[in-house]
């Protein structure tokens, strides 16, 4: 006979902590606590296998399960000293679902199951509290009717309201026992009216009804969606946990509380929690009464007058302290516990790994490793890379008040305050005068780079997580709130409106890029800590980490941040931002407007010294670490202005009439710029541009070597390659320039020439391309756009529906589409390495900072990932975890 039901309680259990697959997380942990001799209210778990059977067999329970439930119930009665359905000593139970992995959105709990018109009287006798008994009863009916019978809770709330009106009272607590009795009758009448059958009086009917509802909840829409999104097989099923009720609201010797084995906010190694005397679990959470501290020290520190548990019930407190010790020893992680004290006796209702802040996670991991509770690798695995982001940026002081104007998307983490400006130009002007500014725009364009760079933070009222503002801000490490649709930015009038509040240019604004909040006025911030525990843990991370982490960084400032965060090189240095400087953009535009190659060369000669100086500074910072410079990538029209006024300015500066500028701009306009005349196509059609850039790089490199005597390692990267011929042609030109410069300067440097692999064809032809390229850097942003045929800028209107309908588990621009785009990465890697053993492989798309994508890169044999400077530590951690997962 298959065992379907597992009992626990009375200092022993049939299950164990490692039986989560069979008993669900909750059931397994209850069993484990019982085994550890920790007092848990007795009960039993009906296994996930029973649920699976139920669905495989047209919703029939397996043979023997009824008998096994009866036996387990009998055992529970024996341990707890009551009887299910008994008129004098009724045993009441809770019924809860419990899947192998936690699944929010499944069934609510049913409490107080077993109450009926007979047993309620027994409860009165047991507790001597008629009001308590009938309140429990009416709550049970309400809960059961809602969860099991599908009678909308609103029905019952309306009955309660009517009752309060009859009595002329305002609060539920003002209703007395008789009122509650009446409520019970009215509730039952409502159930009968709605369901055309009476509320079940037989506790066994109630029990099986609740078990059926738990199993049924496995198939509800929310659960299905959750499973699809998290790849949870439908075959797993959920367990059902039936557990004796204990009450923390049975008088002054009863209490209920929650506790953490360490401080979940700071990570400090102290027992931390709250409790309430004579209360139910939900009262602690609801926040109507002020909870009391567990320990005396915490109470004193907080300056609370209410006695701590340590003071009020010292013996029971010690019992909890001992339980805390046992649990940490057993689980080797910080636990989140729920307990109830019923008339002087401690009962544990739940234990699970506790949620914690990033700061706490860091401290707990490092402390536990030092305490010998866990090893280094486990400590490394204890940090969620996504959470780590919180540690790397300034955050708003959590205790400071916030005057929130509205919310947008948390586009780039960190917090900052500054005075509002509405244009990039104003931002630069104000900063020159020594002001700190917050740049507010409807959306940003490459023209705004300068202003974004000097601003403390950026707010846009349009655009998504991958809008220009968001991507650039993340790259720069500037906090950014994007698409704050509740706010209206009037750039002409220079006002920012939120509802009926209007802020003007110069007013101070604060943003929290981690939460998306936009706040009026200044809010103090807390600076991140990159030493101490952080440094200790990152050292362990680096020991476990098999692949390199570089940064995507374009400016000296970015490079310095990358350096500080441990970047081992620059994987993507974009050169286009360099052209937006006011002094340079004129020459750039002159180049674009030139009628022929000669005109372009003249303009490029003006740009050469600027680029050389830039590269010199960058190479100097990186020293012997690789600096991978991408040659000009965006279509030329991105450098032309849009407005009429700007057109005019350009025409004047370039010394042509405005009609010519307009005409050239029209000529350059593209139907699909993403797929247009950009990347190496510029290098093929206007070789002089790439030659100038190559010259700037090599002259800079030779200068550094000559002046400083330090080694440098420039890498020239050719973007948007589709064919090996493009690489061969452009590589020859780079090599020719290098030879020329080395001859002219009498110096030489080691350099590499490689390509971006960001088009499907390039991935497929990786073998040929590797013959001319010394490295591949996967540009997974564009590879995603082309592989999926999906424009990042235009996917907003359908990407939501795609995620809701489970077509994409994640936004493919945030986390790599491993099945599709990932296969292209792997094909290119295999074919490339086959043609050129030792070919260097890396990724420099946005995905280089995404933990799941980093794990994929590790599994695919890449040498490095490159991500925005602030994400470097995250990438280091994710890479280490990927390697550790590979070992396990």
CB nearer its own copies, residue 328 or residue 726? 726
Which residues within the stretch 712-751 sit at the binding site for its own copies (CB under 8 A)? 720, 722-723, 725-726, 729
- In the set 36, 619, 759, 874, which binds its own copies (CB under 8 A)? 759
What is the full DSSP assignment across 636-688?
Answer: GGGGS--SHHHHHHHHHHHTS-HHHHHHHHHHH--SSGGGSS-THHHHHH-HH
- Which range of residues in 249-257, 386-394, 425-433, 759-767 is near its own copies by CB under 8 A? 759-767
* Residue of 55, 610, 802, 830 interacting with its own copies (CB under 8 A): 802
Order the strands of the 415-421 sheet from edge to edge: 403-407, 517-520, 508-512, 415-421, 437-441, 457-460, 480-482, 409-412
Q: Dihedral (C-alpha) 686, 691, 693, 698: value to the nearest 10 degrees?
A: 170
User: Per-residue contact track with its own copies, 440 to 479, x per CB under 8 A?
Assistant: ----------------------------------------
Q: How far apart are CA 397 and CA 399, in angstroms?
A: 5
Among 563, 782, 846, 850, binds its own copies (CB under 8 A): 782
Q: Coil, strand, or helix at residue 117?
A: coil
Q: How far is the CB of 840 from its own copies (least distance, A)?
A: 23
Q: Restricting to residues 672-701, which ones interact with its own copies according to CB under 8 A?
A: 672-677, 681, 684-685
Distance between CA 842 and CA 854 in Å, rounded? Answer: 10
Nearer to its own copies, 336 or 823 (CB): 823
Can residue 793 be called a binding residue for its own copies (CB under 8 A)? yes
Residue closer to its own copies, measured from CB, 64 or 820: 820
DSSP 83: B
C-beta of 234 vs 286, nearer to its own copies: 234
Q: With CB under 8 A, what is the number of residues at the site for its own copies?
A: 48
| Contacts by 127-132, CB closer than 8 A, 24 or more apart | 127/247, 127/250, 129/250, 129/251, 130/177, 131/176, 131/177, 131/180, 132/247, 132/249, 132/250
Positions of E strands within 847-887? 864-867
- Using the minimum distance from each CB to its own copies, give the nearer residue, 609 or 806: 806
User: Per CB under 8 A, which region of 48-56, 425-433, 449-457, 666-674 contacts its own copies?
Assistant: 666-674
- Asked whether position 824 contacts its own copies by CB under 8 A, the answer is yes
Residue 468 is a catalytic residue: yes
CA distance 195 to 145: 10
By CB under 8 A, the residues from 12 to 51 that bind its own copies are none
Beta strands 775-778 and 840-843: pairing type?
Answer: parallel
**Segment lying near its own copies (by CB under 8 A), choices 161-169, 489-497, 738-746, 821-829:** 821-829
Name the residue with tokens 């059926």: 212
Choose which of 168, 797, 838, 888 interacts with its own copies (CB under 8 A): 797
Nearer to its own copies, 653 or 788 (CB): 788
Least separation in angstroms between residue 773's CB and its own copies is: 15
Position 787 contacts its own copies (CB under 8 A): yes
Least distance CB 671 / its own copies (angstroms):
4
Least Å distance between CB 591 and its own copies? 16
Check residue 790 for interaction with its own copies (CB under 8 A): yes
Element (H, E) at 490: strand 487-490
Stretch (H or E) spanning 97: strand 93-98
Q: How far apart are CA 78 and CA 289, in angstroms?
A: 36
Among 798, 834, 861, 885, binds its own copies (CB under 8 A): 798
Backbone dihedral angles phi then psi of residue 95, each to the nearest 5 degrees: -125, 125
Pairing label, strands 12-13, 43-46: unpaired
Q: Which candidate, 579, 700, 569, 672, places its Cα nearest to that of 632? A: 579
User: Which residue's CB is nearer to its own copies, number 151 or number 763?
Assistant: 763
| Tokens matching residue 741 | 């410069």
Q: What is the separation, in whole angstroms, between the first and last Cα of the chain?
A: 35
Q: How far is the CB of 448 from its own copies (least distance, A)?
A: 17
Structure tokens at 310: 């340590």
Distance CA 597, CA 594 (A): 7
Q: Two tokens at 742?
A: 């080395």
**Residues 272, 422, 808, 858: which binds its own copies (CB under 8 A)?**
808
Q: In the numeric block, which tokens belong to residue 526?
A: 């807390």
Nearest distance, CB of residue 656 and its own copies, angstroms: 20
Q: Which stretch binds its own copies (CB under 8 A): 304-312, 416-424, 789-797, 877-885?
A: 789-797
Residue 51, exposed/middle/buried by CB under 10 A (0-12, 13-18, 19+)?
A: buried
Residue 835 contacts its own copies per CB under 8 A: no
Q: Which of 377, 453, 468, 847 is catalytic?
A: 468
The dihedral region occupied by 566, where left means phi > 0, alpha psi between -120 and 50, and beta the remainder, is left
Figure out which of the listed residues 655, 746, 789, 888 binds its own copies, where binding follows CB under 8 A.
789
Establish if 621 lies at the interface with its own copies (CB under 8 A). no
Instruction: Name the residue nearer to its own copies (CB basis): 27 or 760.
Output: 760
Judged by beta carbon, residue 335 or residue 795, the one nearer its own copies is 795
Residues pairing with 441 in the sheet = 460
Cβ at position 750, least distance to its own copies in Å: 29
Residue labelled with tokens 């305002």:
170
CB of 459 to its own copies, least distance (A): 21
Query: CA 607 to CA 734: how far, in whole Å?
Result: 18
Q: Which of 758, 840, 846, 850 binds its own copies (CB under 8 A)?
A: 758
Q: Does 659 bind its own copies (CB under 8 A)?
A: no
Q: How many residues would you count in the chain? A: 888
Beta strand 480-482 with 403-407: parallel, antiparallel or unpaired?
Answer: unpaired
- 817 forms part of the interface with its own copies (CB under 8 A): yes
Q: What is the b/e burial string over 88-99, where b = at least 16 CB atoms within 10 angstroms of the residue's CB?
A: eebbbbbbbbbb
d(CA 852, CA 299): 42
Q: Which is the catalytic residue, given 702, 844, 857, 867?
A: 844
> How near is the Cβ of 804 to its own copies at its closest, in Å?
10
From the list 823, 830, 835, 859, which residue makes contact with its own copies (rule: CB under 8 A)?
Answer: 823
Among 2, 805, 861, 885, the residue binding its own copies under the rule CB under 8 A is: 805
* Radius of gyration of the chain, Cα coordinates, nearest whole angstrom: 33
Q: How far is CA 331 from CA 264, 328, 352, 701, in A?
A: 16, 5, 9, 55
- Concerning whether 724 is annotated as a catalytic residue, the answer is no
Residues whose CB falls within 8 Å of the CB of residue 722, separated by 6 or more in sequence, listed in order: 759, 761, 762
Q: Residue 709's CB: how many other CB atoms inside 10 A?
A: 7
Q: Is 761 in the site for its own copies (CB under 8 A)?
A: yes
Which range in 134-142, 385-393, 617-625, 814-822 contacts its own copies by CB under 8 A? 814-822
Stretch near its own copies under the rule CB under 8 A, chosen from 69-77, 239-247, 578-586, 803-811: 803-811
581, two tokens: 């400087």
Over the window 136 to 165, marking each residue x when it contacts its own copies by CB under 8 A and - when it does not, the resulting string is ------------------------------
Is 118 one of the binding residues for its own copies (CB under 8 A)? Answer: no
According to the binding rule CB under 8 A, does residue 791 interact with its own copies?
A: yes
CB of 760 to its own copies, least distance (A): 4
Among the residue ranges 56-64, 422-430, 620-628, 779-787, the one whose residues contact its own copies (CB under 8 A)? 779-787
10 Å CB burial of residue 301 (0-12, 13-18, 19+) is exposed
Interacting residue with its own copies among 456, 786, 860, 868 (CB under 8 A):
786
- Shortest distance (Å) from residue 858 CB to its own copies: 21
The residues, any chain, with a CB within 8 Å of residue 529's CB and separated by 6 or more, are 391
Annotated catalytic sites, by residue? 468, 844
Residues making contact with its own copies (CB under 8 A): 670-677, 681, 684-685, 720, 722-723, 725-726, 729, 758-761, 764-765, 782, 785-791, 793-795, 797-798, 801-802, 805-808, 817, 819-821, 823-824
């Amino acid at each position: 006979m298959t065992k379907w039901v597992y009992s626990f309680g009375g200092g022993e259990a049939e299950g164990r902590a490692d039986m989560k697959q069979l008993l669900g997380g909750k059931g397994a942990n209850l069993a484990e606590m019982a085994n550890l001799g920790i007092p848990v209210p007795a009960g039993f778990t009906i296994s996930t296998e029973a649920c699976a059977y139920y669905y495989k067999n047209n919703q029939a329970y397996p043979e023997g399960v009824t008998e096994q439930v009866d036996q387990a119930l009998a055992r529970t009665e024996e341990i707890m000293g009551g009887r299910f359905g008994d008129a004098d000593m009724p045993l009441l139970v809770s019924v809860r679902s419990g899947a192998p992995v936690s699944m929010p959105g499944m069934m609510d709990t049913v409490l107080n199951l077993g109450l009926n018109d007979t047993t309620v009287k027994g409860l009165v006798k047991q507790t001597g509290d008629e009001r308590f008994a009938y309140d429990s009863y009416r709550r049970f009916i309400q809960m059961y009717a809602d969860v099991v019978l599908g009678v909308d809770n609103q029905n019952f709330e309306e009955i309660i309201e009517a009752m309060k009106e009859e009595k002329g009272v305002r609060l539920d607590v003002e209703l007395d026992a008789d009122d509650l009795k009446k409520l019970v009758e009215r509730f039952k009448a409502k159930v009968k009216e709605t369901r055309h059958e009476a509320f079940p009086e037989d506790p066994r009917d109630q029990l099986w009804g609740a078990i059926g509802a738990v199993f049924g909840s496995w198939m509800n829409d929310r659960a299905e969606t959750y499973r699809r999104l998290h790849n949870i097989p439908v075959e797993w099923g959920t367990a059902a946990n039936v557990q004796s009720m204990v009450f923390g609201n049975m008088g002054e010797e009863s209490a209920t509380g929650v506790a953490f084995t360490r401080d979940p906010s700071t990570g400090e190694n102290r027992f931390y929690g709250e409790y309430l005397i004579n209360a139910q679990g939900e009262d602690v959470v609801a926040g109507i009464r002020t909870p009391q501290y567990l320990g005396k020290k915490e109470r004193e520190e907080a300056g609370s007058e209410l006695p701590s548990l340590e003071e009020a019930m010292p013996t029971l407190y010690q019992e909890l302290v001992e339980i805390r010790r046992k649990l940490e020893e057993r689980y080797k992680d910080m636990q989140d516990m729920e307990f109830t004290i019923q008339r002087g006796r401690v009962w544990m209702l739940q234990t699970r790994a506790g949620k914690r802040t990033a700061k706490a996670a860091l401290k707990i991991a490092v402390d536990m490793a030092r305490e010998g509770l866990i090893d280094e690798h486990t400590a490394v695995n204890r940090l969620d890379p996504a959470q780590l982001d919180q540690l790397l940026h300034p955050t708003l002081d959590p205790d400071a008040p916030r005057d929130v104007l509205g919310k947008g998307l948390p586009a780039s983490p960190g917090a900052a305050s500054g005075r509002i400006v509405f244009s990039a130009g104003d931002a630069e002007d104000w900063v020159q005068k020594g002001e700190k500014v917050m740049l507010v725009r409807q959306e940003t364009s490459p023209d705004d780079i300068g202003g974004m760079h000097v601003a403390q933070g950026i707010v846009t009222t349009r655009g998504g997580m991958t809008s220009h503002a968001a991507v650039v801000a993340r790259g720069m490490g500037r906090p950014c709130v994007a698409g704050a649709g509740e706010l209206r930015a009037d750039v002409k009038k220079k006002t920012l409106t939120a509802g009926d509040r209007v802020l003007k240019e110069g007013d101070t604004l604060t943003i929290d890029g981690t939460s998306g909040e936009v706040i009026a006025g200044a809010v103090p911030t807390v600076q991140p800590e990159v030493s101490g525990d952080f440094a200790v843990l990152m050292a362990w991370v680096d020991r476990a980490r098999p692949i390199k982490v570089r940064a995507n960084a374009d400016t000296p400032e970015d490079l310095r941040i990358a350096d500080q965060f441990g970047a081992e090189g620059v994987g993507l240095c974009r050169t286009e931002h360099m052209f937006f400087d006011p002094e340079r953009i004129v020459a750039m535009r002159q180049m674009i407007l030139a009628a022929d190659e000669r005109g372009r060369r003249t303009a490029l000669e003006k740009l050469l010294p600027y680029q050389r100086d830039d590269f010199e500074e960058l190479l100097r910072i990186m020293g012997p670490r690789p600096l991978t410079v991408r040659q000009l990538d965006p279509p030329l029209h991105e450098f032309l202005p849009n407005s009429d006024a700007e057109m005019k300015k350009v025409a004047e500066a370039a010394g042509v009439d405005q009609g010519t500028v307009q005409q050239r701009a029209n000529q350059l306009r593209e139907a699909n710029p993403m797929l247009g005349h950009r990347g190496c196509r510029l290098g093929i059609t206007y070789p002089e541009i790439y030659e100038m850039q190559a010259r700037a790089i090599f002259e800079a490199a030779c200068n550094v070597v000559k002046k400083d005597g330090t080694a440098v390692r420039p890498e020239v990267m050719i973007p948007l390659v589709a064919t090996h011929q493009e690489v061969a042609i452009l590589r020859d030109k780079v090599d020719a320039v290098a030879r020329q410069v080395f001859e002219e300067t009498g110096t030489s440097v080691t350099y590499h020439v490689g390509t971006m692999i960001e088009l499907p064809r390039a991935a497929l032809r990786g073998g040929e391309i590797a013959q001319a390229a010394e490295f591949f850097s996967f540009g997974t942003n564009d590879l995603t756009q082309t592989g999926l045929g999906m424009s990042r800028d235009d996917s907003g209107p359908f990407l939501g529906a795609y995620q809701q309908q489970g077509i994409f588990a994640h936004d493919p621009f945030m986390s790599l589409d491993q099945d599709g785009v990932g296969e292209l990465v792997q094909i290119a890697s295999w074919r490339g390495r086959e043609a050129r053993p030792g070919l260097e492989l890396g990724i420099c798309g946005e995905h280089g900072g995404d933990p799941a994508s980093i794990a994929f890169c590790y599994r695919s044999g890449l040498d490095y990932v490159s991500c925005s400077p602030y994400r470097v530590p995250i990438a280091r951690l994710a890479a280490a975890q990927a390697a550790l997962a590979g070992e396990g």
